Amino acid sequence: MDSALSDPHNGSTEAGGPTNSTTRPPSTPEGIALAYGSLLLMALLPIFFGALRSVRCARGKNASDMPETITSRDAARFPIIASCTLLGLYLFFKIFSQEYINLLLSMYFFVLGILALSHTISPFMNKFFPATFPNRQYQLLFTQGSGENKEEIINYEFDTKDLVCLGLSSIVGVWYLLRKHWIANNLFGLAFSLNGVELLHLNNVSTGCILLGGLFIYDVFWVFGTNVMVTVAKSFEAPIKLVFPQDLLEKGLEANNFAMLGLGDVVIPGIFIALLLRFDISLKKNTHTYFYTSFAAYIFGLGLTIFIMHIFKHAQPALLYLVPACIGFPVLVALAKGEVTEMFSYEESNPKDPAAVTESKGTEASASKGLEKKEK
């Protein structure tokens, strides 16, 4: 899952182009507006709900619910690792048959997508189960060694409701595997994005600035400096991007002229926005100023990306616009409120610290109630 979510090499917004020599009729202004508006909405949903879920992200027994903390060293290495991965995929597509590579990738993301979608819909599905539903508890435990040297490798607890969610997600997985339909692709893409924002935690704001700054340079170089990113994004048949057809009004669900947004442009800013929500809660002022500021900044940055792309008719590195907005807006607010020191000194608690677990449970309810009141 992390490898699927931490690869922002598909992170450029671009107008969908034909994958064969057939000339497609130009999209209507209505179709283009619908496509980009839908992409914007699909990007906002996993960020908002993923940030909420990151606050109450379990720090307990289930390995699937343990947050993965990104340190400053990880953030500094990330653009280099992402560049090597991107270039490797580009060479693979140039040297080997694209059909066989995508077949292997489809099987890989088929499994990951089912698990991610099941984890995503589980909290919502629990509301639909009747009180009389026979819900049994299960545990999957793998250990290494014996006696005092025994070490847990996997300790995963689940129940019958989780198995039902897994079955429903498998139906979507089979649909994606057989048809590669854009709706199935988006369901998996949304699940990957939400899980990434929920489970990938930056340890502080400085680390977030390092990560976003490095990927800012990475995104600009690989989009404007070469054709590598655009080539990989168009060749890579996997749910690593959100897509929406510009010709939906003309062709319905069988439309195939897509606009696309890489998941990296959702997850990377999303984990920074989620960090600011947790910082808001740490201030204990019952406000979510920095979260809403960064969320508005994301809308502004992505909207500007779409506008520039539409004007110049060229794929755009979305992080070129998202990074200055998502960092700049909250910092300006912190300067105005005199809380810059508090912002950059804020440090995430150790997930294994019992005190952190207790504090997380206590702040979980207040975060949800506060955001619900704001929304009303």
Note the pLDDT of residue 364: 44
Note the pLDDT of residue 371: 52
Note the pLDDT of residue 60: 45
Between CA 59 and CA 211 the distance in angstroms is 24
Between CA 187 and CA 173 the distance in angstroms is 10
- Select from 258, 206, 222, 220 the least CA-distant residue to 237: 258
Note the pLDDT of residue 301: 95
Note the pLDDT of residue 93: 83
Q: pLDDT at residue 257 above 90?
A: no
- CB-based contacts of 287, cutoff 8 Å, min separation 6: 280, 370
Note the pLDDT of residue 247: 86
Name the residues annotated as catalytic: 219, 265
Q: Convert the pLDDT of each residue in 213-233 to its tens digit.
A: 999 999 889 888 888 888 887
Mean pLDDT of 345-359: 58
Q: pLDDT at residue 10 above 70?
A: no
Mean pLDDT of 49-54: 92
Q: pLDDT at residue 37 above 50?
A: yes
> Per mean pLDDT, which range of 27-31, 163-167, 343-347 is the poorest?
27-31
Mean pLDDT of 262-290: 92
Q: pLDDT at residue 11 above 60?
A: no
Give residue 26's pLDDT band: very low, low, confident or very high (50, 70, 90): low
CA angle 317, 318, 323 (to 5 degrees): 115
> Per mean pLDDT, which range of 37-46, 62-71, 347-356 is the poorest?
347-356
DSSP state string for 75-114: HHHHHHHHHHHHHHHHHHHHHS-HHHHHHHHHHHHHHHHH
Note the pLDDT of residue 252: 83
Note the pLDDT of residue 76: 93
Q: pLDDT at residue 368 above 60?
A: no
- Select from 223, 155, 297 the least CA-distant residue to 14: 223
Mean of per-residue pLDDT scores for the chain: 82
Q: Which residue has the higher pLDDT, 236 or 54?
A: 54
Give residue 376's pLDDT band: very low, low, confident or very high (50, 70, 90): very low
Note the pLDDT of residue 370: 53
Mean pLDDT of 45-52: 95
Residues comprising the chain, all counted? 376
Note the pLDDT of residue 270: 95
Most confident of 173-177, 233-237, 312-316: 173-177
- CB-based contacts of 107, cutoff 8 Å, min separation 6: 177
- Select from 250, 252, 298 the least CA-distant residue to 274: 298
Contact status, residue 259 vs residue 15, Cβ threshold 8 Å: yes
Q: What is the reported pTM?
A: 0.81
Q: Convert the pLDDT of each residue in 199-211 to its tens digit.
A: 999 989 999 999 9
Note the pLDDT of residue 196: 94
In Å, what is the CA distance from 175 to each residue of 32, 42, 102, 230, 360?
A: 26, 20, 16, 26, 38
- CB-based contacts of 165, cutoff 8 Å, min separation 6: 118, 121, 122, 125
